[in-house]
Amino acid sequence: MAAFRGIEVKPGFAPMEAKSVDALPDEPGWRFEPKWDGFRCLVFRDGSDVELQSKSGKPLGRYFPEMVAAVQGMKAERFVLDGELIIPIGGVLSFDALQMRLHPAESRIRKLARETPAQLMLFDCLAAADGKSLVERPLAERREALEQLHVAEEEGALLLSPFTDERRLADSWLEMAGGALDGVIAKRRDGPYVQGEREMLKVKQLRSADCVVGGFRYAAKKREVGSLLLGLYNEEGKLDHVGFTSNMPAEERAELTKRLEALVEPPGFTGNAPGGPSRWSTDRSGDWEPLRPELVVEVRYDHVTGHRFRHGTRFLRWRPDKAPERCRFDQFEHEARPAALATALPGVE
């Protein structure tokens, strides 16, 4: 590779990943960090050569020119850093704003870069100063190198993610941070940076919401309910489609199908409905049965993007005690300013 000769860790290097667990480890030797909701990003700099790389290995610099400029303006001329690209808008983190950057038109990207500039939340250092690799060094040493590099910079777009070595404090982050975090990551304090392997542990920040069942879809191969279509009432009092859940107990589906079929009645959703133009649309988006808005279900979710659940939700229970009209968007927790949260988490070292 002609460029990046001055650093031993070069573009194409796969970032270390995490595997999901139900709880953070309790034995000694672990370090805990917030898991931010953004785009994972490895940052390579060797003099004038700068590359931002996604978790999948694709270049990101074209979509975040303001971050390339910020890296080029740093005093340190050689380093490889690991972090998360985030965009705060109006005081909350916006995953939608990140996705909007993945646009084919350069003029559109540069306009968004001016209007909604990204920030980089840093949490690891793979090479620094002399360009020598630090991946075999323990996390504690890599963190020290990252802090030394960061303290010398004046670039406000570069943030330093906090950490703690105490599990009870890490657990409290999940409790107090609301929707501000994607979860908590656990790393071995004496562990190396293992390329492309799931050597870290992660506990996701999961929340629940009560939703109206505005419709359902039949299963692909059986005339039995396959998924429930979920809705929430907007400020205008209209029921918007926000996602689906499909993990209802198998032994209950036949009886549930009869119950739902007895409630079939248009329009189902009076606001945004399934099958409308969106990036979530599929060939089966228009194939659904509308229901009278009488059933309420509690579901577990991880993220909300563009007033929709980003992923499928997990069915928890029916809520016959909850009035459908009380299922509104105000249940969603807003996310905190990343810079403020990075210094406000209790127990930050």
Over the stretch 311-322, which tens digit does the pLDDT of each residue have?
Answer: 889 999 999 988
Contact partners, residue 263, CB within 8 Å, separation at least 6:
291, 292, 294, 295
If asked whether residues 191 and 261 sit together in one domain, one would say: no
Which residues constitute the domain of residue 38?
27-205
Whether pLDDT at 279 is above 50: no
Q: What is the pTM of this model?
A: 0.74
Nearest to 86 by CA among 137, 142, 158, 26: 158
Q: What is the mean pLDDT of the chain?
A: 88
Whether pLDDT at 192 is above 80: yes
If asked whether residues 257 and 307 sit together in one domain, one would say: yes
**Exposed / middle / buried, residue 299 (Cβ in 10 Å: 0-12, 13-18, 19+):** buried
If asked whether residues 199 and 249 sit together in one domain, one would say: no
CATH number of the domain enclosing 227 = 2.40.50.140
Q: Which residues are catalytic?
A: 35
If one counts every other C-beta atom within 10 angstroms of the C-beta of residue 17, the result is: 15
344 to 165, 167, 238, 244, 349: CA distances (angstroms): 16, 17, 37, 35, 11
Whether pLDDT at 76 is above 90: yes
Q: Examine residue 271 and state whether it is found in any structural domain, yes or no.
A: yes
The per-residue pLDDT for 143 is 97
Say how many domains are in the chain.
2
Quick one: tokens of 139? Answer: 């996390």
Nearest to 205 by CA among 295, 76, 303, 320: 303
If asked whether residues 146 and 179 sit together in one domain, one would say: yes
CATH number of the domain enclosing 32 = 3.30.470.30
